[in-house]
Amino acid sequence: MVGVIEVERNQFLESDIQKLLHLFAEKIQNDFGGASKLIVIGGSAMSLLNLRHGTHDIDVINELSVFELQTIEKISQSEGVSIEWMNNRSRPFCPQNLNQQGCRLIMKIYNTELYVPSFDSLLVMKMHASRGERDLVDMYLLWGQCSFTSIKEIEDAYWAAYPDAPADPYLSSHIEKIEFQSCEYLTRKRTRELSKR
């Protein structure tokens, strides 16, 4: 049995995420003889992409089969973690233009394939969520990884992803503020990293 260590506020470190996913894939194959394809988003995707050091749960944005849900529950019981350790609660906020073909396969464990959306899509999803400081920091970290070359491109990507979102006259200024603050944040982060050498 794979041991999972939960840190303060039930946060999973990268190693914990890897262990949970490995256990999930192993059980899917051994218990059900099946395969799984998961699109991982949010903080867990950022952790797998080495942009973050942990997350509170593993967010997936695709439908979960009965077998996958049973596997999640079994791991919750055996490892003593929340039943929500893997969930697709963010599914209602999925960009309308997001599909597996537009995502990158980053890991295959047994018969389970793990995909993540592009950095551009992750940024747009974080913008749409906008849950305060947590999402702002994630946007700062994603900013430098994206392919956008203008505010207009980001706006267009946002409306392509969420065409039914309420009109927002402040979207441009919000994006400009994120751009400015991300530059400041990344500069401070780099300075701290260099000072530790």
For residue range 39-53, what is the model confidence (pLDDT) as tens digits? 999 999 999 999 988
Q: Which of 93, 26, 31, 18 is nearest to 60 (CA)?
A: 93
Proportion of the chain in helix, strand, coil states, percent, rounded to 5: 55, 15, 30
- Per-residue pLDDT band for 10 (boundaries 50, 70, 90) equals low
> What is the pLDDT averaged over residues 52-66?
91
Q: Are strands 112-116 and 36-41 parallel, antiparallel or unpaired?
A: parallel
User: Both tokens of residue 183?
Assistant: 């530059």
User: Distance between CA 66 and CA 72 in Å, rounded?
Assistant: 10
User: Distance between CA 60 and CA 116 in Å, rounded?
Assistant: 9
Kindly give, in sequence order, each residue whose CB lies less than 8 Å from that of residue 72, ignoring residues fewer than 6 positions away. Answer: 24, 64, 83, 85, 86, 87
**Rounded to two decimals, what is the model's pTM?**
0.86
Q: What is the pLDDT of residue 13?
A: 86
Q: Look at residue 85 and tell me whether its pLDDT is greater than 80.
A: yes
> What is the pLDDT averaged over residues 141-151?
93
Q: Look at residue 11 and tell me whether its pLDDT is greater than 70.
A: yes
Q: What is the pLDDT of residue 54?
A: 83
Q: What is the pLDDT of residue 8?
A: 40
